[in-house]
């Protein structure tokens, strides 16, 4: 059986890649992909823990979180679509009306 730490290492790696991407990318689409990566690494964690602690809560939690991630992506794309209609691009660096 694959040790639990392998799953945790993989999910931590995926999470870090997602977090790095959110901080560095300028395109809204890539940003949403990176956020999905972070949420899915948490799902991987949940399922791995669920299998190793012999409880089902984790798998139920993962199902809920998959549905919520989809809803989140839908709202995100809706906001980016509205921005695209106004600016003709989704370059987040150029959205800087609000600053001190």
Partner 1 sequence: MDELMYLAPEIVVVATGLAILLAGIFLSPQSKNLLGYLATLGVLAALFLTVKSFELLTMQGFMVGYSIFSDTLNIDALSQFFKLIFLVVALIVAIAAIKYNENSDHTEEFYALMLFATFGMMIVASANDLIVLFCAFELASLATYGLAAFEKQNPRSLEAGMKYFVFGSVSAALMLFGMTFVYGATGTTSIPQIAANSGLLTSSPIGLVAVVLLIAGFGFKMALVPFHMWAPDTYQGAPSVVSSLLAAGSKKMGFVAAFRIFIVALAALQPDWQFAFTILAVVTMTFGNLVAVSQTSVKRMLAYSSLAQAGYIAMAFAVMSPLALTGGIMYALAHAFMKAGAFIAAGVVVWMVTSEKRGNLKIPDHLDNFKGLGKRMPLTAFSMMIFVFALAGIPPTAGFMAKFVLFSSTIAAGMTWLAIIAILNSALSLFYYARLVRYMYVLPPEGGKVSEPFPYAIALLVAVAGVLAMGIWPEPFVELATNAAMVLF
Tally of residues, the chain: 100
Site string for partner 1, 66-95 (x = CB under 8 A): --x--xx--xx-xxx-xx--xx----x--x
Number of residues that bind partner 1 (CB under 8 A): 44
85 contacts: CB under 8 Å, gap ≥ 6: none
Q: Does residue 41 contact residue 15 with C-beta atoms inside 8 Å?
A: yes
Nearer to partner 1, 1 or 98 (CB): 98
Asked if 10 is part of the footprint of partner 1 (rule: CB under 8 A), the reply reads no
User: Distance (Å, rounded) from C-alpha 49 to C-alpha 31?
Assistant: 28
Give the residue from 15, 17, 33 showing the smallest Cα distance to 72. 33
Query: What does the binding site for partner 1 look like in residue numbers (CB under 8 A)?
Result: 15, 18-19, 22, 28, 31, 35, 38-39, 41-42, 45-46, 48-49, 52-55, 57-58, 60-61, 64-65, 68, 71-72, 75-76, 78-80, 82-83, 86-87, 92, 95-100
């Amino acid at each position: 059986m694959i040790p639990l730490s392998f799953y945790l290492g993989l999910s931590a790696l995926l999470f870090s890649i997602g977090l790095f991407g959110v901080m560095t990318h300028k395109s809204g689409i890539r940003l949403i992909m990176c956020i999905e990566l972070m949420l899915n690494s948490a799902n991987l964690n949940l399922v791995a823990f669920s299998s190793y602690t012999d409880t089902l809560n984790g798998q139920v939690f993962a199902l809920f979180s998959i549905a919520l991630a989809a809803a989140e992506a839908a709202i995100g794309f809706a906001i980016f679509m509205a921005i695209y209609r106004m600016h003709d691009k989704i370059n987040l660096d150029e959205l800087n009306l609000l600053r001190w």
